[in-house]
Structure 1
Amino acid sequence: MAMLDDQLTITAIIPLYNGARFIEDSLNSVLAQTRPPQEILVVDDGSTDDGAAVVERFIEKHPQVQLLRKANGGQSAARNFAVKHSTGRLIALLDQDDMWYPHHLERLVEPFFKQRPIPLGWVYCNLDEVDITGQMVTRDALRALSYVKHPKRDLLGCLQTDMFVLPSASLISREAFEAVGGFDESLSGFEDDDLFLRIFRAGYDNVYIDEALTKWRIFTGSASFSARMARSRMIYVRKLLEMFPDQPDREFYYSRDAIAPRFLPWLVREYMMALRRGDTATALSAAEDLRFVAHYHRPRVRATVEMLTPILRRPALARTLLPVSDTVRPLLRRIFR
């Protein structure tokens, strides 16, 4: 069902946690919108830097911005908290270190005006990747990921790869958001994939605009590279394996052919990076996670991982063997196939 212009109220939501360095850039990009949001909510999620003070000073000049405060609970909880305190029919999420181009909301709102037989759950767009200083790295970054399908049309495509529906590059129907219960607050990584997958599964449609309307700031200190992200990844993996078990009688092999092959390479990389850092605890955790996920993979990969497990459980030995062994390296490469 299409909405009238005066029904398309938009709430911009920015979760803030120790983001003093970036939050003003993000807020300025919201205020520069050619279609301004009706509400702008910043949620201070228990920051320990002066990010909230930066926002308070910003509000002195721009009183349309509201600052909400809560105890630290992670980005998912902060976003849910803001949605509960908002009134907009459409939810525009923006991470504290990302920015919108001026026509971001104007372009993303357009599909909501059209009459549709299937209710629209979200609209999303391409983005430009920038570095920590805001300088350009990759224009139209999603075009380089030819293996990722847009818009989302089938479950297998949503499970085989990361969905690359970035919160900062999306505009979400409040109806759809609330229908699926919002973000899973147990997740501090992959919470976006989880949300949009559940909206897709609930029967809502989605529209992709292949135009960069967002600046996505990615750097080694960002959430995408945190230990919290690694822990959340395994929570999400277990959730997916429980939601989509293999069904041999129907020849559906979501776990074997999509979920396990998607996440196993992440775990191999995590293990190898921990070895290089000399981080024994992380290496041992990754080894057990690797073995767990491999159990759902094809027999050849399961056997390979089982053969390597005695080495993986001894990081000091693995640090010696894995980088140099002509026997082990081909076995590792087989895991990525």
Structure 2
Amino acid sequence: MPTYQGQRWIDAALRSVAAEPADGIEILVLDSSPNSETLDIVRRYDSLLNLRVMKRDEASMWHAQTNIGAERAEAEHLCWLHQDDLWLPGRIEAIRKWIEKAPNAALHLAPSVIVDADGRTLGLWRCPLEKDAEIDSSEIVQRLIVQNFVSAPAPVFRKDAWLFCGGLDEALWYTADWDMWLKLAALGPVHYHSEATTAFRVHNSSLTVTGAGKIEEFSQQMQIVFDRHLPTLAEIDNCAEAAGRASIRVNAALAAASGGDFSLLAPAVAAVLGLGPLGVARYLRDSRIYDRMAPRLRAKFAGAF
């Protein structure tokens, strides 16, 4: 758990973890807050959880903290939980079943429930994958190159695979997780599980929202990952490539619109329509744009964003 000024959310996050069977679970909290408020809340859980708390430099970014946590974790399988997200009842039991069924899988994926700032359910964020199935590496990369459809708290991955991939790219403040899922997926079959055991919180201080003020850099973050992984496809899928390029334009347009600039929306829609019927269908399937955007719009219109 990388934390920074997390006093608004951290109690709910840790309470959701403490509600699960704690045996065999280690929680590493790496905090870079300039004051003690976040860690004061964390330490209330000393008697309930197997906590290891590390105070980091205030300048440490979330991905740098996550890399340190992954390196120092003692478990063979890891996941991360940001301070504003939640575990749902049954997560530990589910994870143990996943690992028992496929202990050598580098990556396990699953959907997440989307909740608002007050914890109310807004929708379900799914992956465009077969339910409860092993997915071939090439197929997952073909779909994931279009859009990061992975909710960060949901995946479980092998520590050795993470370290082999070099961890999170600390130059990517927004797309480091997308880059990581693509790296892990390239190592071999990925297992997808249809049960949602995490909740992803949408609110007005998330990276997507705060990144809206620097659209050029925001777009560049996505372009770097896209350009890095496109050549790794066994066969260049022109449809996936075109859909991925359009997806970057749509994501940038939506981020700009969230900051009040609507000028990029029409060109983004035109880019999607220019894909043709098959390309549009591919984009809609792999981008999960409805799953991602509808809950945010509901939260915004309800005043709970």
Q: If the TM-score is normalised by the length of the shorter chain, which range does it land in?
A: 0.7 to 0.9
In 2, distance between residues paired with 1:173 and 1:332?
A: 37
Residue matched to 2:221: 235
Give 1:150-299 correspondences, 5 Å limit: 150=130, 152-153=135-136, 154=139, 155-162=141-148, 164-203=149-188, 205-227=189-211, 231=217, 233-244=219-230, 252-253=237-238, 256-272=241-257, 276=260
Q: Give the TM-score, by structure 1 length.
A: 0.68
2:256 counterpart of 1:334: no
Counting aligned pairs with the same residue, the percent is 19
CA 1:91–1:262: 2 relative to 1, 3 Å: same
Residue matched to 2:29: 42
Residue matched to 2:55: 69
In 2, distance between residues paired with 1:186 and 1:26?
A: 27
Residue matched to 2:276: none
In 1, distance between residues paired with 2:232 and 2:70?
A: 35
Q: Which amino acid aligns with 1:234?
A: Q
Q: Which amino acid aligns with 2:182?
A: L
CA 1:187–1:233: 2 relative to 1, 3 Å: farther
Three-state SS of the structure 1 residue aligned to 2:63 is helix
In 1, distance between residues paired with 2:237 and 2:258?
A: 34
Which deviates more from structure 2 when the two are superposed, residues 231-240 or residues 19-28? 231-240
Q: Give the TM-score, by structure 2 length.
A: 0.75
User: 1:85 aligned to 56, 72, 82, which one?
Assistant: 72
In 2, distance between residues paired with 1:195 and 1:50?
A: 31
CA 1:63–1:226: 2 relative to 1, 3 Å: same
In 1, distance between residues paired with 2:190 and 2:34?
A: 34
Query: Contact conserved, 1:24 with 1:58, CA < 8 A, in 2?
Result: no
In 2, distance between residues paired with 1:73 and 1:23?
A: 18
Superposed CA offset, 1:160-208 (max 9, x none): 222x2223112111121111111111122222211110011122x2212
How far is the alpha carbon of 1:218 from its aligned partner? 1.1
Three-state SS of the structure 1 residue aligned to 2:246 is helix
The higher radius of gyration belongs to 1
- Aligned residue-pair number: 263
How far is the alpha carbon of 1:239 from its aligned partner? 3.6
2:41 counterpart of 1:54: yes
User: 1:95 aligned to 79, 82, 93, which one?
Assistant: 82
In 2, distance between residues paired with 1:112 and 1:213?
A: 15
Q: Which structure's relative contact order is higher, taking Cα pairs within 8 Å and 6+ residues apart? A: 2
Query: Contact conserved, 1:16 with 1:47, CA < 8 A, in 2?
Result: no
Q: Which amino acid aligns with 2:117?
A: I
User: 1:124 aligned to 109, 133, 156, which one?
Assistant: 109
CA 1:39–1:78: 2 relative to 1, 3 Å: same
Three-state SS of the structure 1 residue aligned to 2:200 is strand
Three-state SS of the structure 2 residue aligned to 1:226 is helix
In 2, distance between residues paired with 1:253 and 1:66?
A: 47
Three-state SS of the structure 2 residue aligned to 1:128 is strand
CA 1:226–1:272: 2 relative to 1, 3 Å: closer
User: 2:91 aligned to 96, 101, 104, which one?
Assistant: 104
Residue matched to 2:288: none
Which deviates more from structure 2 when the two are superposed, residues 105-114 or residues 224-233? 224-233
In 2, distance between residues paired with 1:37 and 1:99?
A: 19
CA 1:271–1:113: 2 relative to 1, 3 Å: closer
Which deviates more from structure 2 when the two are superposed, residues 167-176 or residues 29-38? 29-38
Three-state SS of the structure 2 residue aligned to 1:107 is helix
How far is the alpha carbon of 1:83 from its aligned partner? 1.4
Give 1:126-145 correspondences, 5 Å limit: 126-138=111-123, 140-142=124-126
Which deviates more from structure 2 when the two are superposed, residues 149-158 or residues 193-202? 149-158
Query: Contact conserved, 2:152 with 2:177, CA < 8 A, in 1?
Result: yes
CA 1:227–1:48: 2 relative to 1, 3 Å: farther
Three-state SS of the structure 2 residue aligned to 1:41 is strand
How far is the alpha carbon of 1:50 from its aligned partner? 1.6
